[in-house]
Amino acid sequence: MYQKGVQTMLESILSQRGITKIWDCSKQAYSLDQWEKRRVEILTLLCREEYGFIPCSLTSLRFDVVEDKQYCAGKVTLSKVLATAEFGDKSFSFPFYTSIPNGKQQYPFFVFPNFRDAIPNRCFPMEEICDNGFAVLSFCYQDVTSDDNDFSNGLAKIIFDGRERKADDCGKLAMWSWAASRVMDYAETLPNLDLSKAVVVGVSRLGMTALLTGALDTRFACTIANESGCSGAAISRGKKGERIKDIYNRFPQWFCEGYKKYIDNEQNLPFDQHFLVAAVAPRKVYVASASKDWWSDPDSEYLSCVAASEVYEKLGLSGFIHPDRLPEVGDAFHEGDIGYHLRDGLHDFSREDWLYFMRFLKRKFKI
Ligand code: GCU
């Protein structure tokens, strides 16, 4: 652990990589109101320069349960729900799934944008999660809008209606994140969910989605980004593996078009990704990495937690509690408001990741 006031090894890595402080350095403590103002500035910056704004607003939202069945040997009710959103005279629907244990108490729950809609699937040990006393509300991201440059389907069709995207109009990550918040709207209508213990979680591009959701939507008590890498949790300046150039050239649809000006130009970003991690404050945030996921760059994901801790500490919270070194396989830092682990293996969503997340949540939620 490090001594306050002395530059640590990690702080010197951050300064060599050109990582700036999030807040005015002259003050050591801030109130939540002051943070709320700074948080809004940061979110505006992140949306304007990276993820884009959703340029229209919802006029109504309806949910219809279309199927209910008993699942996991009768311990869980699995339901399929259709969300229908209206934007003026245009409407759009997407399905999602709720897996809720059948007991009488109110359950903490995950909102989980997922790659597929099948339950269970390889990213998602559903029975084990429910046996641990958590519910899951999941959806398949491509049911919201396709993961390609086609902006004429699903939510994208409603938003753009054939018009060109402007530089700060939303990319697809922002649309998937919008959908996660609509699933949270539904959660608010269910009596058997504990709304004070809502968690948004995702892996990879959907880890970026989860992080953006938790930064924008304050109803989530915890946000978990599993291997979210470039343009997710990992700081961009000095990053190894995937860079903005790689991600934008392969997946331009994920971002606003203005983001391309940072290709090979990370030093001119008016923020870095630790701003996104910190924008979740004062709520809990958790970043997870895998040792062989060199494309995401675990060290850069970890350093983002180190740098984001500033905000938590200035709010009088515990922030990120970690040793003064880079992470090693098997590390799990669960003491502070920012959680982190580095598991062995490749880029994926492993059962081991879920077990770490639930361990952290049980500790933080005191369950
Ligand atoms: C690609 C991409 C990553 C992304 C990943 C995923 O590897 O380059 O940025 O995280 O896909 O979403 O699985």
Which tokens belong to 15? 């300064």
Residues 33-61, mean pLDDT to the nearest whole number? 96
Beta strand pairing call for 135-140 and 107-114 = parallel
Beta strand pairing call for 107-114 and 76-87 = unpaired
pLDDT digits (tens, 9 = 90+) for 205-216: 999 999 999 999
Give this prediction's pTM.
0.97
Query: What is the residue-averaged pLDDT of the chain?
Result: 96
Residue 281 CA, ligand 1 centroid: distance in Å:
26
Residues 302-326, mean pLDDT to the nearest whole number? 97
Q: Where are the beta strands (DSSP E) in the chain?
A: 60-71, 76-87, 90-101, 107-114, 135-140, 193-203, 222-226, 284-290, 332-333, 338-343
- What gap in Å lies between CA 59 and CA 239, rounded to an integer? 41
Whole-number pLDDT of residue 2 = 44
Whole-number pLDDT of residue 7 = 78
Is pLDDT of 4 > 90?
no
- What gap in Å lies between CA 172 and CA 14, rounded to an integer? 30
Residues 180-202, mean pLDDT to the nearest whole number? 98
Closest residue to atom 13 of ligand 1, CA basis: 204
pLDDT digits (tens, 9 = 90+) for 88-128: 999 999 999 999 999 999 999 999 999 998 888 888 899 99
- What gap in Å lies between CA 214 and CA 75, rounded to an integer? 29
Which tokens belong to 124? 């998602």
Per the annotation, the verdict on 204 as an active-site residue is yes
* All structural domains of the chain: 9-64+102-365 (3.40.50.1820)
Ligand 1 contacts (CB < 6 A) are: 204-205, 229-230, 242, 247, 295
Is pLDDT of 5 > 80?
no
Residues 6+ apart with CB under 8 A from 94: 82, 83, 139, 143, 144, 154, 155, 179
- What gap in Å lies between CA 212 and CA 271, rounded to an integer? 15
Give 1's pLDDT tier (boundaries 50, 70, 90).
very low
Whole-number pLDDT of residue 3 = 46
Residues 6+ apart with CB under 8 A from 13: 303
| Most informative mutation of 50, 347, 350 for ligand 1 (most atoms within 8 A of CB) | 347
